[in-house]
A and B are shown apart, each in its own frame.
Chain A
């Protein structure tokens, strides 16, 4: 059982967390033309990196959505970082 550090709450065990998405995806602007390829890539293409990964996770008790860098092989967590513009 892993320990993740919520940027607001601090270290908690993994049962409080939920994987949201791989980091780095931006929603295409759907007010303009979005090709089927672009949209399919946005929806379905996953990198599934072996090793160092950047992911978005949610800490369920406080609903904080944050960025986590971790190793998908050793399970080592390198950093967690809030998605908020100005951290408080």
Chain B
């Protein structure tokens, strides 16, 4: 029985941008995130499919996560559960992932969290960054990197990126 409260900083207000020297980490409020899996899900979606490094549009899109799974972003609501007609499993996970945009001189910060380069494409946006499972891709402007991190690790991710920015500047 040990009170460790003081060892852990109060989680940040998830609505304010965080300045990181030449880069900025800005929280993003998405209207909906939907996990959709199925044997042919990569070919069934009408939404633009975003891979790594990707170019996500401003409207709805689908992140390729696995051979048989996408994360629909801002797509219209669909019922949760198994759909026999489409052969797809659907779960609303809007609150499962916290989303950030990393703008400015972003790539050197990402390079501190993983061996990563836009020169090597990947069919999936899922990867480990600073040891945390994330979905990572670029927006259409090709300079904004968007990150989805499991909600419980959002504070850890912010701290990692902040620390990377601090040490990089030294």
A and B: bona fide binding partners: yes
Nearest-Cβ distance from residue B34 to partner chain A, whole angstroms: 18
Q: Out of A10, A16, A64, name the residue touching B121 (CB < 8 Å).
A: A10
Do B114 and A8 have beta carbons less than 8 Å apart? Answer: no
B-facing residues in A53-80 (Cβ within 8 Å): 60-64
Do B66 and A8 have beta carbons less than 8 Å apart? Answer: yes
- B: number of interface residues (CB 8 Å): 19
Nearest-Cβ distance from residue A31 to partner chain B, whole angstroms: 27
Do B67 and A10 have beta carbons less than 8 Å apart? Answer: no
A88 at interface (Cβ–Cβ under 8 A)? yes
Q: Out of B67, B121, B127, name the residue touching A8 (CB < 8 Å).
A: B67
Do B120 and A9 have beta carbons less than 8 Å apart? Answer: no
B122 at interface (Cβ–Cβ under 8 A)? yes
Given A10-B121, A88-B42, is A60 in contact with B128 using a C-beta cutoff of 8 Å?
yes
A13 at interface (Cβ–Cβ under 8 A)? yes
By a CB distance below 8 angstroms, the chain B residues around A10 are 120-123
Given A8-B123, A9-B124, is A62 in contact with B42 using a C-beta cutoff of 8 Å?
no
The residue of chain B having its C-beta at the shortest distance from the C-beta of A88 within the complex is B67
Given A10-B120, A61-B126, A62-B126, is A15 in contact with B67 using a C-beta cutoff of 8 Å?
no
A12 at interface (Cβ–Cβ under 8 A)? yes
By a CB distance below 8 angstroms, the chain B residues around A12 are 115, 122, 127
By a CB distance below 8 angstroms, the chain A residues around B124 are 6, 8-9, 61-62
Nearest-Cβ distance from residue A87 to partner chain B, whole angstroms: 9
A50 at interface (Cβ–Cβ under 8 A)? no
CA–CA, A84 and B122, complex, Å? 19
B11 at interface (Cβ–Cβ under 8 A)? no
Q: Which B residues are closer than 8 A to A by beta carbons?
A: 40, 42-43, 65-67, 69, 114-115, 120-124, 126-128, 131, 133
Q: Which 10 A-B pairs have the closest CB atoms?
A: A61-B126, A9-B124, A62-B66, A13-B115, A8-B67, A10-B122, A9-B122, A62-B124, A61-B127, A16-B128
Can you spell out 13 A-B residue pairs with CB atoms less than 8 angstroms apart?
A6-B124, A8-B67, A9-B124, A13-B114, A16-B127, A61-B126, A61-B128, A61-B133, A62-B65, A62-B69, A62-B124, A63-B66, A88-B40
